[in-house]
Chain A
Amino acid sequence: MATGETFPLDPPRPRALPVPPPIGETAMARRLLVAAAVLFLALILALPLAGVFTEGLRKGWGAWLAAFADPDARAAIRLTLLVAAISVPANLVFGVAAAWAITRFSFPGRNLLVTLIDLPFSVSPVVSGLVFVLLFGANGLVGPFLKAQGIQVIFAVPGLVLATIFVTFPFVARELIPIMQAQGAADEEAALTLGASGWTIFTRVTLPNIKWGLLYGVLLCNARAMGEFGAVSVVSGHIRGLTNTVPLQVEILYNEYDFVGAFAIASALAVLALVTLVLKTFLEWRYGDELARSARH
């Protein structure tokens, strides 16, 4: 912003030749760059999103709504909400704890932990799913024992939750670690010298400092938890009305030539993404003073 205002005209210093701008682009080049970015966004983001909605609404609102009246679709939505309701809080707790440990303490194996947190990002979701089949399958390591206790993990809700937790594991921690590293431990140390207990330091100092980053992490984590396909597909067993999450239901409908139904449900996922964005904006507006004080995001 500041650079853009300083260079075009600088009258107090008369010179024969115009000063070359600190950033090389001409106005034309800048406009072209912006246009390219907008075009790219339109092609890669807006167009597919619009495509989802137009295909879903191709036969009108009645058909769109009818897709949600289907009991299997309802079951899929309930299941997805349930899986997210368990895995997101679990990863919230884990992410805060891990970020806290990594940025505030020095201990052996700290770098290893940082690497391990990233593991789900680098492992293909199919492999993540198969790992759970190997562990909890009928011929797996602990599967037979659990089966004898009457506990079904794989091809049931627990397996879906485990796979989702695994895949969405890094989101919260990854969001918090850089923030907490940048902030340093000065605030906490000050609170400690004033006699605050560990819990008070956490709730009154650390949490307010990181809450916007935390919210970001949770939103991303939730979006992925609800949208995850690969790992969940492996452990689901695809039982209709029972272990199909929303993304799996979309695939099933598509394969049954119910394109309107598939894209109607898919558009619900897209709406969910938009709602999270709106929610985040609303929170920022509502707690704007808090936001300004924490000076983050």
Chain B
Amino acid sequence: MTTASIPSRTAPTGFALRRLRDLAIVATAFGVVLGTTIFARADTTLLNVSYDPTREFYKEVNQAFAAEWKAKTGETVTIRASHGGSGKQARSVIDGLDADVVTLALAADIDAIAKTTSKIPADWQKRLPHNSSPYTSTILFLVKKGNPKGITDWGDLVKPGVEVITPNPKTSGGARWNYLAAWAWAAKTYGGDDAKVRAYVTELFRHVPVLDTGARGSTTTFAQRGLGDVLLAWENEAYLVFDEFGAGKFDIVVPPYSILAEPPVALVDGNVDAKGTRRQAEAFLAFLYSETGQSLAAKHHYRPSRPEAVDKALLDRFPKVELISIDDPLFGGWTKAQAFHFGDGGTFDQLYKPAR
């Protein structure tokens, strides 16, 4: 088929010349792209590795802190953010993601970083006020407009025909709070009858059609794809959907009893010392406890740890719920709860059977 390439001496040369010119143009373009990527760097850059539903909150915090830091020190600081399921994010930091600060969904995930690397000291949670949690949250229900399935409390979630949306407790911090809140409600309702508690939790997860890896994935599944009847959601996430999709499509249901979720923050000592950013990173964490930081938290529906620093009108928006702490004897703190419920062979592994 191909025979005539060799005899024609002139045409390939012209072709080669044209090709050479094209190559030069392309190479120059690559050079420009490469150059701009490498040299477009700010003075100091902090990396905040956070969990899923904090995107909007930290977007504002990052800007406010950068502005304050600039006014105070004259130094330009850029805060980069990475968001994902809390467990997955902790895994990334363990695998070498260069975080200056971690702001995750639960203490167990920061414990995991402290345990497997030497980058965070074991007593990290004592270093900042309020268990290193500048804001707290709780778990509420988001249902379709008018609450057609009549869901008002945890017991209603296992009624026939109710589909529950919650992420996977193995990868999502929010999902672990959901799980423990359900556990706590059952323990209270059945007076600590272990068999009944387990039966309730088993039944609950039979009503879950999909387990997403992160809270935001579950929210999209429920709000955008329209799956399920009720979403177990972070308080802030429930309000975000409410604001984002308009009040016409969803209702927020506040159960009378839920869990006090403490999403903690920590400095990653190993990384800030390697990068020389300790001063800025510490200031960033302190900023979360400042009046501005606390007000921004309240604005994004996180319950501020220092309510006295926040305008009362913002505080009045939080519904009253009876909350149980992770340090309650029922759970005995995160280290114990993590191993008992979510470790390999823990209660979640024992009880979880996919939806029928």
Contacts and interface: CB of A to CB of B under 8 A. Distances in A.
Interface of A: 78-79, 81-82, 85, 133, 136-140, 143, 147, 152, 154-155, 157, 182-183, 187, 190-191, 194, 203-205, 208-209, 237-242, 252, 254-257, 287, 289-290, 293-296
A155 B83 contact: no
B63 interface: no
Contacts of B96: 136-139, 143, 147, 152, 154-155
Contact of A155 (B5, B12, B81, B92): B92
Contacts of B116: 139
B95 A154 contact: yes
B33 A239 contact: no
A139 B94 contact: yes
Interface residues of B, number: 38
Given A78-B36, A204-B6, A287 B1 contact: no
A204 B2 contact: no
A208 B12 contact: yes
Contacts of A290: 11, 15
A254 B220 contact: yes
B80 A183 contact: no
B195 interface: no
B34 A85 contact: yes
B84 to A, nearest CB: 6
Contacts, number: 100
Nearest to A130: B95
Contacts of A187: 2-3, 5-6
A204 B12 contact: yes
Given A79-B37, A204-B5, A295-B1, A237 B55 contact: no
A285 to B, nearest CB: 14
A290 B19 CA distance: 13
A260 B83 CA distance: 21
Given A255-B216, A295-B1, 11 more contacts: A81-B33, A82-B34, A137-B95, A138-B96, A138-B117, A147-B96, A155-B95, A187-B2, A187-B5, A203-B16, A208-B5
A140 B95 CA distance: 8
Contacts of B64: none
A294 B5 contact: yes
A287 B33 CA distance: 29
28 contacts: A81-B33, A82-B37, A85-B34, A138-B94, A138-B96, A140-B95, A154-B95, A155-B97, A187-B5, A203-B16, A204-B6, A205-B5, A208-B5, A208-B12, A209-B2, A237-B92, A237-B97, A238-B82, A238-B84, A239-B97, A255-B217, A257-B245, A289-B11, A290-B11, A293-B4, A293-B5, A293-B8, A294-B5
B94 to A, nearest CB: 7
A257 B36 contact: no
Nearest to A208: B5
Nearest to A150: B274
Contact of B81 (A78, A85, A240): A240
Contacts of A143: 95-96
| Listed residue (A136, A143, A257) with the most chain B CB atoms within 10 angstroms of its CB | A257
Contact of B98 (A152, A182, A293): A152
Contacts of A155: 92, 95-98
Interface in B299-336: none
